[in-house]
Structure 1
């Protein structure tokens, strides 16, 4: 009895490794505790990767300034020819600010280090 293979092999999924290139952060103190972060990166999977990069920058900036918290106000993300840009605004504060989009700067910076996301 001869056995044969049908010739139909199951297609192997293509796995693409996430390997972003973080191209830099520019910070600008707008007024008192209001700070703008402009970030650039290549290889983002989508807007959330750019938002994470800006959040890491905001968390580190808050700690550098002696604050423990930040509150996200807005982030605009756009991509052109593979270069992703983010324009984010945060407030920084010594105490947990009111609002739903607040971050604990120490917790966020630890997560950024763990995930290999550079900061300010």
Structure 2
């Protein structure tokens, strides 16, 4: 399609390339709506995340983990330990409520994360951080 240079903006809007829809059978990419961070007590931090297009609760938990890892680095620490994540979906909007402890040294427990490694993985997977 060719558009005249002097055409009105409404006509020019029709000249822009149409956004590409995902191929049949593929889901649209998720939309990340932001993170709220609440310092609960010293090293205890609450992350509230919201997104659309999550495939499952695991996608929401991964978004919260990415936020926790970046926040850990911002605070000058290197490690975090996952305590809990609650996930809820209503009308296509997914919300996660996660709590982590952050620390300068590797904490005890099974659900620990190295913040630098997690942030790098989040970037590779195009999951935003704080």
TM range (shorter): 0.7 to 0.9
Q: 1:53 and 2:43 equivalent?
A: no
Unaligned 5+ runs, structure 1: 1-13
| Aligned equivalent of 1:64 | 74
Unaligned 5+ runs, structure 2: 1-23
Secondary structure class of the residue paired with 1:89: strand
Secondary structure class of the residue paired with 1:106: helix
- State the distance in 1 between where 2:98 and 2:46 align: 6
Q: 1:22 and 2:25 equivalent?
A: no
Give the TM-score normalised by structure 1: 0.87
- State the distance in 2 between where 1:112 and 1:18 align: 18
- State the distance in 2 between where 1:18 and 1:63 align: 31
| Aligned equivalent of 2:48 | 38
Q: Deviating runs (4+, > 6 A) in structure 1?
A: none
The root-mean-square deviation of aligned C-alpha atoms, in Å, is 0.8
Secondary structure class of the residue paired with 1:58: helix
Give the TM-score normalised by structure 2: 0.81
May I ask how many residue pairs the two structures share in their alignment? 107
